[in-house]
Amino acid sequence: DVKVTQSSRYLVKRTGEKVFLECVQDMDHENMFWYRQDPGLGLRLIYFSYDVKMKEKGDIPEGYSVSREKKERFSLILESASTNQTSMYLCASSSGLAGGTDTQYFGPGTRLTVL
């Protein structure tokens, strides 16, 4: 079974803090993704990565950065957290056998609240 883990289930931070969200997958997947999910807006892609040290902007990259130094780990960084970044953050991975369009497996999510 694919296992995707995220460092925290719940996180509370203050405006202006630097926030790190960590994601680890154990299936040697090539692709990793960061989404945020908000009521009525569905899943929105922030960043994705097809290989170590490679990253691509998704639909809403503003205010975020990412790091992929090892294949199994993909980090999302909020350089200066703002209240509008309060959301559920979901990490996903996929094998990469079909480019970026194969089945994605999700981690449990991190609910981030920025005060």
47 SS3 class: strand
CB of 33 to another protein, least distance (A): 8
| C-alpha span between 103 and 36 (Å, rounded) | 18
| C-alpha span between 38 and 71 (Å, rounded) | 28
Q: Judged by CB under 8 A, does residue 25 bind another protein?
A: no
Residues 6+ apart with CB under 8 A from 61: 46, 47
Q: Judged by CB under 8 A, does residue 102 bind another protein?
A: yes
Binding to another protein, residues 40-59 (CB under 8 A): 40-43, 45, 48, 50, 58
Q: Judged by CB under 8 A, does residue 72 bind another protein?
A: no
Q: Judged by CB under 8 A, does residue 16 bind another protein?
A: no
- Count of Cβ atoms closer than 10 Å to residue 107 Cβ: 23
Q: Which residues bind another protein (CB under 8 A)?
A: 33, 35, 40-43, 45, 48, 50, 58, 90, 98-109
